[in-house]
C-alpha cells in the first residue's frame, strides 16, 4: 500500500510520532511518505495514496487552534482528494488543556465530511514518541492491519 503521513508540528513532538509511524509502516512492507505540512500543497494531496494519516498539535486556549503550518493546509482541505480513501488522525498534546489533542477532533470531523473512510479512532499522545512508544506502536499496528 501507498501511505502518506502529513504532520504539523511546532516543537517536534508530533513530528516524532509521524517519523516513528512511518518507520513502522515501512517495516511492515508498505511504501510511506512522511510530509511536513509546511511543505504540503493541498490540491490533490492524497492522490495516488491508498491511506493518509494526519498529525497535528493544538495551540489554542479557549478553542482549538491547529498548528500554524497545518492550519494553512487545512484552509484548503476541500481540495485534498481524500474522498473514499482510508484516513486517520493523531496528535501530540498536553492534557492540562481543556481540549487535549483537540486537532484530532477538528481534522477527523472534516475528513468525515469530505467522505474519507476513518480507519481508527484518533491517537492522542502526551508529549513525544519517546514516552509513549507502546501506545503509538500499538495504534500504528492497528493502522497497518486496516490497510
Ligand atoms: C498556548 C498553548 C496552547 C496549547 N493548547 C493546547 C490544546 O488546546 N490542547 C493540547 O492538547 N495541547 C495544547 N498545547 C500543548 C502543545 O500542543 C503540546 O506541547 C504539543 O506536544 C506540541 O506538539 P508539537 O511539538 O508537535 O507542536 C498548547 C500549548 C501552548 C503553549
Q: Is 132 in the pocket of ligand 1 (CB under 6 A)?
A: no
Q: From the CA of 93, how far away is ligand 1's center (Å)? A: 5
Q: What DSSP element (H or E) covers 53?
A: strand 51-56
Residues 35 and 115: their CA atoms lie apart, in Å, by: 22
Place of cell 490497510: 147
Supply the DSSP symbol for 78: G
**Measured from the CB, is residue 37 less than 6 Å from ligand 1?**
no
What is the domain range of residue 98? 2-146
Domains of the chain: total: 1
Q: Measured between alpha carbons, how far is 31 from 112 in angstroms, rounded to an integer?
A: 24
Pocket test for ligand 1, best of 61, 93, 122 (most atoms within 8 A of CB): 93
Q: How confident is the model at residue 61 (pLDDT cuts 50, 70, 90)?
A: confident
pLDDT at position 60 is 87
Question: pTM surpassing 0.85?
Answer: yes
> What are the tens digits of pLDDT across the range 16-46?
999 999 999 999 999 999 999 999 999 999 9
Ligand 1 contact, 97 CB (< 6 A):
yes
Q: Which residues, other chains included, contact 113 with Cβ-Cβ below 8 Å and sequence gap of 6+? A: none
Distance 47 CA to ligand 1 centre (A): 30
- Ligand 1 atom with minimal separation from the 101 CA: 11
pLDDT tens figures, 98-109: 999 999 999 999
Residue 142 Cβ contacting ligand 1 at under 6 Å: no
Enumerate residues 6+ apart whose C-beta is below 8 A from 62.
Answer: 98
CATH code: domain of residue 104: 3.40.50.360
Ligand 1 touching residue 99 (CB < 6 A) = yes
- Which uninterrupted H or E stretch holds 18? helix 13-27
Amino acid at each position: 500500500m501507498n501511505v502518506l503521513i502529513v504532520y504539523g508540528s511546532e516543537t517536534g513532538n508530533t513530528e516524532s510520532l509521524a517519523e516513528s509511524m512511518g518507520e513502522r509502516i515501512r517495516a511492515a512492507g508498505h511504501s510511506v511518505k512522511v510530509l511536513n505540512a509546511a511543505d504540503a500543497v493541498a490540491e490533490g494531496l492524497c492522490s495516488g495514496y491508498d491511506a493518509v494519516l494526519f498529525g497535528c498539535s493544538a495551540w489554542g486556549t479557549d478553542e482549538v487552534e491547529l498548528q500554524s503550518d497545518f492550519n494553512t493546509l487545512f484552509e484548503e482541505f476541500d481540495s485534498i482528494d481524500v474522498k473514499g480513501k482510508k484516513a486517520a488522525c493523531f496528535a501530540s498534546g498536553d492534557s492540562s488543556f481543556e481540549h487535549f489533542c483537540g486537532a484530532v477532533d477538528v481534522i477527523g470531523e472534516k475528513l468525515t465530511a469530505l467522505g474519507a473512510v476513518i480507519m481508527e479512532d484518533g491517537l492522542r499522545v502526551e508529549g513525544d514518541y519517546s514516552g509513549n512508544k507502546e501506545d503509538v506502536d500499538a495504534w500504528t499496528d492497528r493502522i497497518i492491519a486496516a490497510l
